[in-house]
């Protein structure tokens, strides 16, 4: 049985707690947050605390706190020579304080408190300075039913960058389409099957092979018409930039 202390109570920590709580081979022995309010309602299921001096003994301490707080908070932890991992895509393993056995347990997924998530769809990028600790993180990922990948800090930071493209930027494009469709009294629902099909297609075809549309076909008349229809100048700039990028990609080599 792997014992875990979760530190933090935000979007990720809430889901992590539920996933670990369901697993047979792992247990959350304590949940810390600097404010008790977000974890108060869990007190019948797990020991909760906001007192850092009262941390209990565990195999792994998972810091699911804001990126900027990780380094300083790891210094304040009154534990030594314990496996402390953070869950961030962009923070280095060496940003954790040296007094700990250090590791990373980065779930490459998007978590919001109220959106359900199945951990079998959560790839975990694991890293540790020590071989045995890496093994422990593998066991932990397996126990919660997650696929896992051994990824070093440099690779993880690049993956995090890729995630911004495929998740945040794509979502911002949904937002623009939502604004445009709303302004014309069209339900965003009409676009949802297309959104799903686009995401589904890249599961079997490369993004290069999946591309369609006026920019790929270099359909100049349609592109001109679209540019005339766009009222917002930021939306227009994004359309032009992406059209140009697609044109360049499809005039050049495949990936
Ligand atoms: N959400 C995602 O989709 C996602 C995905 C992958 C990885 N991650 C990583 O998971 C970590 C947590 O992200 P999140 O989205 O769960 O964040 P979040 O919802 O904003 O929650 C942040 C948590 O950090 C705590 N915190 C902030 N500053 C602190 C400090 N100085 N000392 C101690 N605790 C502090 C907050 O405590 P209070 O409640 O007291 O404010 C809160 O519990 C980050 O490293 C993030 O990169 C997130």
DSSP structure class, residue 61: E
pLDDT at residue 127, as a whole number: 97
Atom of ligand 1 nearest to the CA of 112: 1
Task: Specify whether the CB–CB gap between 40 and 62 falls below 8 A.
Answer: no
Residue nearest atom 31 in ligand 1 by C-alpha distance = 69
Looking at residue 166, what is its pLDDT? 96
Residue 56 DSSP label? P
Which whole number is the average pLDDT over 2-13? 97
How would you label 46-70 residue by residue, b for 16+ Cβ within 10 Å and e otherwise?
bebbeeeeebeebbbbbbbbeeeeb
Q: Is residue 125 in contact with ligand 1, taking CB distance under 6 Å?
A: no
Cβ–ligand 1 distance for 111 under 6 Å, the answer yes
Mention every residue, 6+ apart, whose C-beta is less than 8 A from residue 205: none
DSSP string, 130-184: SHHHHHHHHHHHHHTT--EEE--HHHHHHHHHHHIIIIIIHHHHHHHHHHHHHHT
| Integer angstrom CA distances of residue 248 from 117, 121, 130, 213, 242 | 37, 33, 44, 14, 10
249 lines ligand 1 (CB under 6 A): no
Buried-state track 81-98, b at ≥16 Cβ within 10 A, e below 16: ebbbbbbbbbbbbebbbe
254 pLDDT tier (thresholds 50, 70, 90): low
Please give the average per-residue pLDDT across 201-224, as a whole number: 96
**Contact status, residue 247 vs residue 239, Cβ threshold 8 Å:** no
pLDDT at 164 over 90: yes
- Token duo for residue 96: 């954790």
pLDDT at 102 over 70: yes
Atom nearest to 8 CA in ligand 1: 43
pLDDT of residue 253: 52
CA angle 212, 200, 196 (to 5 degrees): 85
Residue 255 has pLDDT above 80, yes or no: no
User: Is there an atom of ligand 1 within 6 Å of 11 CB?
Assistant: yes
Mean pLDDT for the chain overall? 96
User: CA 53, CA 74: separation in Å to the nearest integer?
Assistant: 13
Q: Write down the pLDDT at residue 59.
A: 98
- Top pLDDT among 172 and 114 is at 172
- CB of 129 within 6 A of ligand 1: the answer is no
Choose between 254 and 91: higher pLDDT. 91
Ligand 1 centroid to residue 70 C-alpha, Å? 9
Nearest-CA residue for atom 29 of ligand 1: 69
Nearest CA to ligand 1 atom 15: 11
In this prediction, residues 95-105 reach a mean pLDDT of 97
Q: Is the CB of 92 under 6 A from ligand 1?
A: no
In the predicted model, what is the mean pLDDT of residues 114-129? 94
Q: What is the pLDDT averaged over residues 63-76?
A: 98
Q: Which atom of ligand 1 is nearest to the CA of 38?
A: 39
Q: Tell whether ligand 1 has an atom less than 6 A from the beta carbon of residue 33.
A: yes
- Span 20-30, pLDDT tens digits: 999 999 999 99
Residue (of 5, 18, 104) closest to 52 by Cα position? 5
């Amino acid at each position: 049985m792997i014992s875990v202390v979760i530190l933090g109570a935000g979007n990720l920590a809430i889901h992590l707690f539920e996933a670990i709580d369901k697993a047979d081979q792992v247990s959350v022995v304590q949940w810390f947050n600097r404010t008790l309010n977000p974890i108060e309602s869990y007190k019948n299921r797990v020991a909760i605390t906001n007192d850092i001096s009262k941390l209990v003994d565990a195999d792994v301490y998972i810091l699911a706190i804001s990126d900027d707080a990780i380094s300083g908070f790891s210094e304040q932890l009154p534990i030594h020579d314990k496996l402390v991992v953070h869950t961030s895509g962009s923070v280095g393993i060496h940003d954790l304080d040296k007094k700990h056995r250090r590791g990373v347990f980065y779930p490459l997924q998007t978590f919001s408190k109220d959106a359900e998530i199945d951990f079998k769809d959560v790839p975990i990028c694991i890293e540790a300075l020590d071989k045995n600790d890496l093994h422990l993180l593998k066991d932990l990922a397996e126990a919660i039913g997650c696929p896992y990948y051994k990824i070093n800090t440099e690779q993880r930071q690049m993956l995090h960058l890729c995630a911004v493209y495929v998740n945040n930027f794509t979502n911002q494009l949904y937002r623009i389409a939502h604004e445009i469709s709303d302004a014309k009294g069209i339900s965003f629902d009409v676009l949802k099957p297309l959104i799903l099909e686009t995401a589904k297609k890249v599961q079997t075809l490369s993004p290069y092979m999946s591309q369609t549309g006026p920019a790929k076909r270099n359909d100049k008349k349609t592109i001109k018409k679209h540019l005339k229809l766009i009222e917002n100048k930021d939306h227009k700039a994004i359309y032009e930039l992406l059209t140009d990028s697609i044109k360049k990609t499809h005039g050049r080599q495949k990936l």
